[in-house]
Structure 1
Amino acid sequence: MEPTAERRVLPAEEWAGVARDHAARADALTQAHRARRAAGSRHAIDDFLYDYYNTKPSLLRRWHPGAGTGLAPTPDGPAEHAVWRWYRTGDDGVVELDTGAFLAERGDTVAFVHTLLAQTAARPAHTGCLGLHEWAMVYRQDDERRRHTLPLRLGREGTDAVVEQLPLQCTHFDAFRFFTPDAVPRNRAPLTRETQVAREQPGCLHANMDLFKWASKLGPAVPGALLLDCFALARDIRTLDMQASPYDVTSLGERAVAIETPEGKAEYVARQRGFAERAAVLRARLVDVAAGLLPVREPLAG
């Protein structure tokens, strides 16, 4: 693939410093997880990001310049990216993402991510779901079948009562698919994988947490800083997700956001809105990345 006119080339001393800073930031973000893993311990909040998203700290610390940015050679030769998947080295020693090769393998994924994120961004943010998806995942369920071993903050009867008193308004299929059978018909609308693009909305905690997933799917086309920004947002959201859940998280050093109370409802909505604002910026940047990769489409005549 020939480099595009928009390509910029970073001098070796510049990109090497950015790569070092990126690795240091990634190490700081994953330090607690790596320490727990070495000790053989688990954390019900933080480990979700690594288990559910199949995240590896070693890949988080690997810096990518993003599509359209080339890396000038060092005195010792081309950037180490030269041997990484989907990169190419020009006759001038500049290393850059081979977008043609990347799209040949990931084109359908890029198109889907662009459509999903662009359509989500175009909708108003709905808040006030109160994180009841986590409650719906344990509604009328035997304790041994729960996803977490943490105790229920309100007990079994108290937990079920909250689900029965408050409306379920989940819009995120990947949360809805874990609802218990008794909780499914209580949701405001049925959700399917086929309706995901039509239902996703930018106020949803999990849709905003998933920005990290979509950044990962776009792989080396996403600049390293954007990937870590999405990861940091997902980690912050996950904390609220569990604080507002039916689980007692005090053993993890966290306090509950009691969404069954007026005070808890107000706190949840305020924090949800703050996350939606942060996510809107990152979602727009990911849409731009995906759009920049896709072939230009001619407007329809008429």
Structure 2
Amino acid sequence: MFKSLQRLAQTSVIALGLGLALSAQAEPTKVTYLLPAPPNSPAFAPWIIAKEKGYYRARDLDMTFIAAKGGVDVAKQIGAGNAMLGGAIGDTPIVVRANGIPVRAVAVLGAGGVTMIATNAGENIQTIKDLKGKTLTVMSYSDTTYYALLASLRKAGLSKDDVDIQAAGPSGVWQLFSASKAQAMAGVPDWVVNAEDAGLKYALIPREQVFESMAQAILASDDAIEHHPEVVRGVVKATLRGLQDIIDDPKAAAASFARAVPAYAGKEASLEKTLRLYVEYVYAGQPVLGRIDPARLDTVRKFYVSEGIVPREPKLDELYSNQFIETSTAAK
């Protein structure tokens, strides 16, 4: 009788141990993902929609988004080991690699540049050169959109001393612009729509005059790429699936985003307008979704160095990796 009870107890312990082991295996990997601004911005719709629709969870990832202070800060935090991954403009590795920070882009979300230069339509500003003597807003002096603005000014023969650039934060960047306290703004499409919704009539500086910087990118540390490739791959593929949803149906994507961020409930029409700007100016025209074009990155790299924006030319192959973008169906 005692032996039977002993065997039963042993069996129960083994079963409990197996159950705990299986439960542990079922737990998703926790991933902290840094974003250059608060995650409730439509600029981050591919990530928010991917989480809302369970694309990360389907790859056994438990994503937590945390806001940093601009794209360069994202890269610095990743390089310091405070997170494996984060988001910034694809130019960012050029800026930080020159300072020895070991991060690179592993996907870029679109073939266009994410930085737009919007002007108050009443100011009749037609060109970059017309910005001389004007006040412009940017999110911060450490965000890559700021560097794209500097490059655009230099391309037109101007320097930052020819204009008054004010770092106003992710809300102030468009609020000062819409309140006519600045004649122009360098930022992402959602801030342009925010200014329009606030009653401002705006005009966009023609795309060919704006420095051909890159779209938003997924950044990863060298350590994460080497030692946690499946986490990086899962984040890339899930995010690209969210991106594809936006390209396929901006209206439905706006509804998904509003469900994930309740503050946007009832604002789906404005969200759709923002997402369509992204699709038209940023996301479209990429032959393989997410793939980084080395030739374009090289052009951006050389310009940053030649104009003194970075002190030295980092090696091209240290700036990116396409190893997580295998085929044209990478987002599927």
With the length of structure 1 as denominator, give the TM-score of the two structures: 0.25
With the length of structure 2 as denominator, give the TM-score of the two structures: 0.24
Judging by fraction of residues, say which structure has more strand: 2
Greater RCO, 1 or 2 (C-alpha within 8 Å, sep 6+):
2
Judging by fraction of residues, say which structure has more helix: 1
